Structure 1
Amino acid sequence: MGKVRIVEPVNLVIFIFSAQLDYWLETVKPDLISLFGPIDYISPELDFEKYTLYYNEEMGSGITGRLISFERLIHPSLLASIKIKTNELELKHAVDGKRRFNLDPGYIHHMQFVLATTKMWPHRIYIGQGIYAEPTLMYINGAWKDYDFTYPNYKEEVYKFELSKIRDLYLEKRKKYLQNFVKSEKRVR
């Protein structure tokens, strides 16, 4: 029988994409900070439209995105609640029922990148509140590895490069968290 272990915190990441990316990022940033705390990294603008035209009718053409990392680590069990909140933010700023931006939350752990979604698919795991977890990338042998089902943009090196920057930030935060955890455990004994 395996021993139940304490779950390590993870790094919240949100991918925002829009046809008017910087305008909507600046508009929604105060809400994101209010909900999830300080931002510690925003990626350069990343091409998104070359991977899919699915969102063009709703948002317009020229869709690009940015990956956003948050300073505070979270428990991975919060992912479903976070997805619900990001969906609410999308609707709050919708115009005539059409979203102006999309917020895709997920998290980085030292071994994986996981996204939240409302859509069921065989490889996705139900995590509550109508939300599924999508294992998107795994980190193994010093690099991000994608799966057959990984979204095309996350298979690209430019996205993996940005996620590696966020992973490096996470590893520093994780190290401090584990040091503090060990110190607090010693005080309890």
Structure 2
Amino acid sequence: MGKIRKVDMVNLVMFFFSSQVEYWFEEVKNRLIEYFGPIDYKSEILDFEKYTLYYNKEMGEGVRGILISFERLIHPAQLADIKNITNNIENGFAVNGNRRFNIDPGYIHHMQFVLATTKMWPHRIYIGKGIYAEPTLMYINGRWKDYDFTYPNYKEEEYKKELEIIRLMYLEKRKKFLR
């Protein structure tokens, strides 16, 4: 029988995207801080539309995004609640049912990057409250490795480099919990 161990705290990360990403992030940033605490990293603006046109009808053309990291570590069991909060924020700014932006929360652990989603798929694991966890990347042999099902943007080095910066920040934060 395996021994139950203490679960590692993880680094909350969100991918915030919109056709007007700078504007909407500034509109929503304080709300995110209110719920999740200080933001300690914000990436450069990343192209998103080259990977999918799925959101163009809802948000308009030119969808781009930013990856953000939060200073406070979270317990991974909080992910379902966090996804429901971000969904509520998105819906609060929607016009005629169309979102102006999308917030995809997830977390970085030293070995993995996990996203939250409302959609079931064979590789996703139900974590409660209508939310599934999607293992998106694993960290192995000193680099991020994607899976066959990883979203195309997260397969790109541009995104992996940003996640590596956040991972290194997380490793420093994590040391406080391992003492």
Confirm or deny a common fold (TM above 0.5). Answer: yes
Unaligned residue ranges in structure 2 (runs of 5+): none
Shift of 1:97: 1.4
Larger Rg: 1
Q: Distance in 2 between matches of 1:94 and 1:68?
A: 21
Per-residue deviation at 1:70? 0.1
Amino acid at match of 1:37: G
RMSD (CA atoms): 0.4
Where do residues 176-187 of structure 1 align in structure 2 (5 Å cutoff)? 176-179=176-179
Using the alignment, how far apart are the partners of 1:61 and 1:177 within structure 2? 43
User: How many residues in Structure 1 have an aligned counterpart in Structure 2?
Assistant: 179
Report the secondary structure of 1:50's partner residue: coil
Does the residue aligned with 2:66 lie in a helix, a strand or coil?
Answer: strand
List gaps (5 residues or longer) in structure 1. 180-189
Q: CA deviation at 1:154?
A: 0.1
Residue in 2 that maps onto 1:109: 109
What is the alpha-carbon distance in structure 1 between the residues aligned to residue 62 and residue 130 of structure 2? 30
| Paired residue secondary structure (2:135) | strand
CA distance in 1, matches of 2:177, 2:34: 22
**Aligned-partner Cα distance in 2 for 1:170–1:136:** 17
Q: Give, in angstroms, the shift of residue 126 of structure 1.
A: 0.2
How far off is 1:171 after superposition?
0.2
1:91-170 to structure 2, matched below 5 A, reads 91-170=91-170
Structure 2 letter corresponding to 1:38: P
What is the CA-CA distance between 1:178 and the residue it aligns to?
A: 1.4
User: Residues 85-125 of structure 1, C-alpha deviation per residue, up to 9 Å, x if partnerless?
Assistant: 00000000111211000000000000000000000000000
Q: 1:77 and 2:77 equivalent?
A: yes
